[in-house]
Structure 1
C-alpha cells in the first residue's frame, strides 16, 4: 500500500485481512510513524518512502489510497515498476490522465483498476436485472444523490492542488451509478458547481445528463448536506428507490422500494461486503487475466473522467 489514508485504516485494509485472495506484505508512507502504526495493526512491513516499496520484488500489486491529485503520478510509477494497481476512486483528475494510464497498463499487460467498490455490491446486479426484465417499463429518469456533512477543515478534499472538491469525491458515485444503470451514451446537458471561497474547491453541485433517446440522469452531490446515499429509477410503469446505495455497512440488508400505480413491493436483499468483493475481483483479474474485461473497466473509468471534464466546462460557461 502506498500512503496511509483513513479509508485504508477504516475499511480497505480490514477487508484485505479478511480476503483469502490477497496478502498485504508492506505499507509505505513518507512518515515512518504512520507506516509503523499501520504495519503493527495489519501484520506487515513498514516502509519509509513510496519508491522503496515499488523496488521490492515481493510486491506483486499496489493498492493506492493517496489523495486524488497524486493518483496519476503514482499509478504511472507503479505500472512502470511492473506492479498491478488498485487505485482509489477516481482513477485520475482528468480524462487525459485516465486515458494515459489506461494505455500504459494495456501496453505493459498489467491490471489497473479503479476501486469502484460500490459496483461490486450485489444489490446493483439485482436492480439491473429488474430494469432489464421490464419490471419498471422503459426507463425515463435516473436520479441519484451522494452527500454528507462538512469535513474537518484540514481534510485533503479541501485542497485543490491535491484534487479536492465534491465533484471528484462525492460526485463520483452518482456519475458512475448512471454509467452502470442507464442504457445508452450519456452526455452532460447542464451543470452547476458551488465553490467554497476559502478553499477554492467545489463543495456541492448538480448535474443533468441525457441520452440520445431522451433518458435523463439528475445527479446531486456535496459536502454541505445531511447524509444521503441513494438512487431512483423511474420508468414508464413504475419506480424503484434504493437508500444507502453507495456505502452500506457489510452487514446491511438493502431494501429495494418498488412502486407502481396500483401496488407496492419492498424487496429485502442479502448483505454484501463490497470492499472485500472489490479486492477479490482485483486479485482474480491479476491471476486469470481477461483483457476484454480490463479494457471495459478502464473504458468506464475514462468515460467517467470525460463526464467530469464536461461538467467543469459547463460550469465555466455558466460562470
Structure 2
C-alpha cells in the first residue's frame, strides 16, 4: 500500500517537492491538502486532482487515511504543526528549517517519541554523494588540513510581500539558508564542539536580515562561514580551503530543477586541477527515497545530529542579535529560546 500524504500548506514548494515526484512513483500518494483558507485548499485540490481537501489543518490531522504529513508553512509555524501531527500519530516531513530553537525541538522530540513516528527535515541536498567525497578528502589529508569552509547562499524571492520579508514569521536570509549550510558542514567536517557566531544589521523591512554572516569555529582550527543574502540575486556555492589546495562546488542547488549533475572542482597546489562529476539526480526524488527508507524501519535516534544543527542555528542568530550594530527593532523569532508559536499562528500559506 502506498503512503498517503496530507499537505499542510497549499504551496509551490509542496508542488515541486511532493506532488511532482510522487506522480512518478506508486509507493506514495498525495491524498489531501489543507490551507489557511478553505477556498485556497479547494482550488489547490482541484488544480492537482487530489482525492481530498480539508477546511483546516486540524481536520487534515483527523483524517485517518493520511499516515504522513508534509508541512510547508512559514517558519514560525513549522514546530507547532509538526508537534500536532506527531501527536496525531502521523509521520512528519517539514520544510527547512525544522524548527527555530531548542524549546521547539524538545517539544517535537517528545511528541514524536510518545507516538513512535518519524520526523524528517526536508533538506533536499542531504546525503548527496559530493558530501561523502569531500569528507574523504578531509579524512585522507590529500590536500593537507582543512582550514576554512566558505558558503555563499542567496535567493531572489519573486514576492517581496511573502514570509521571507516578515521577521515575525521567521523570515530573513539566515533562517532561509542555515539548514543547507549546517547540514553540509555537519556531513563533511562535523559540528561537534563548534563555537558559533553571527552578524547582521537586521536592516531590512521590519528588522528582517537581508544579509547575514554566520561562523562556526571548529575544534580542528578550521572556520566555516556562511554568507547569506536575500533579494540580491541567486547564488549557491561552497568552497573548502586546505593547506595544500581548494575544492569548489558551484550551484549546488541545481538538481532542485530536475535531474542535473553537480561537479567538485579539486585544485591541489602545484598540481593539475581535476573535476569529480556526479551522475545527474533530482533532489526531490532523492528526498522522497530517503523518507521511504527512514519510515520502513523503526524510528532511529537521529535527534543528536538534529539537535546539533538546531542549537547552532539558534546560537548564531542570537549572537547576531546581541552584536553591536544590530537593529534594536529586531527580536528573536518565537521558538528561539521561547515558547511555541501561539495557537492560530500556523496560517499564511
TM over 0.5: yes
Q: Which residue of structure 2 aligns with residue 99 of structure 1? A: 106
Q: Is the contact between residue 28 and residue 47 of structure 1 (CA under 8 Å) also seen in structure 2?
A: yes
Q: Which residue of structure 2 aligns with residue 254 of structure 1? A: 262
Counterpart CA distance in 2 for 1:276 and 1:19 is 10
**Which runs of 5 or more structure 2 residues have no equivalent in the other structure?**
1-6, 325-349
Q: What are the Cα deviations for residues 139-191 of structure 1, in whole angstroms up to 9, with x where unaligned?
A: 22111111123652211111222211111112332222212211352534532
Counterpart CA distance in 2 for 1:232 and 1:146 is 12
Choose which of 11, 18, 24 in structure 2 pairs with 1:12.
Answer: 18
Counterpart CA distance in 1 for 2:29 and 2:182 is 31
Q: Which residue of structure 2 aligns with residue 89 of structure 1? A: 96
The more displaced of 211-220 and 280-289 is 280-289
Q: Which residue of structure 1 aligns with residue 38 of structure 2? A: 32
Choose which of 270, 274, 297 in structure 2 pairs with 1:265.
Answer: 274
SS at match of 2:258: coil
Q: Which residue of structure 2 aligns with residue 313 of structure 1? A: 318
Q: What are the Cα deviations for residues 9-60 of structure 1, in whole angstroms up to 9, with x where unaligned?
A: 2343212222333211111123233223332343322222111111111111
Counterpart CA distance in 1 for 2:322 and 2:56 is 42
Counterpart CA distance in 2 for 1:316 and 1:28 is 35
Corresponding pairs, count: 315
Counterpart CA distance in 2 for 1:100 and 1:192 is 28
Counterpart CA distance in 2 for 1:184 and 1:223 is 25
Query: Shift of the alpha carbon at 1:290?
Result: 4.7
Q: What are the Cα deviations for residues 270-294 of structure 1, in whole angstroms up to 9, with x where unaligned?
A: 1111111111211222222252xxx
Q: Which residue of structure 2 aligns with residue 278 of structure 1? A: 287
In structure 2, the CA distance between the partners of 1:197 and 1:144, relative to structure 1 (3 Å rule), is closer
Counterpart CA distance in 2 for 1:55 and 1:245 is 38
The more displaced of 308-317 and 125-134 is 125-134
- Aligned runs of 1:132-281 on 2, under 5 Å? 132-149=139-156, 151-183=158-190, 185-248=192-255, 249-261=257-269, 262-281=271-290
- CA RMSD across the alignment: 2.0
In structure 2, the CA distance between the partners of 1:280 and 1:150, relative to structure 1 (3 Å rule), is closer
Counterpart CA distance in 1 for 2:17 and 2:177 is 17
In structure 2, the CA distance between the partners of 1:21 and 1:136, relative to structure 1 (3 Å rule), is farther
SS at match of 1:270: strand
Counterpart CA distance in 1 for 2:171 and 2:10 is 17
Counterpart CA distance in 1 for 2:149 and 2:278 is 21
Query: Shift of the alpha carbon at 1:102?
Result: 1.8
Counterpart CA distance in 2 for 1:102 and 1:226 is 36
Counterpart CA distance in 1 for 2:91 and 2:285 is 18
2:72 corresponds to 1:65: yes
Q: Which residue of structure 2 aligns with residue 303 of structure 1? A: 308
Q: Is the contact between residue 166 and residue 205 of structure 2 (CA under 8 Å) also seen in structure 1?
A: no
TM-score, normalised by the number of residues in structure 2: 0.84
The more displaced of 199-208 and 84-93 is 199-208
Q: Is the contact between residue 9 and residue 38 of structure 1 (CA under 8 Å) also seen in structure 2?
A: no
Q: What are the Cα deviations for residues 183-222 of structure 1, in whole angstroms up to 9, with x where unaligned?
A: 3525345321131342221111112211122111121101
Q: Which residue of structure 2 aligns with residue 79 of structure 1? A: 86
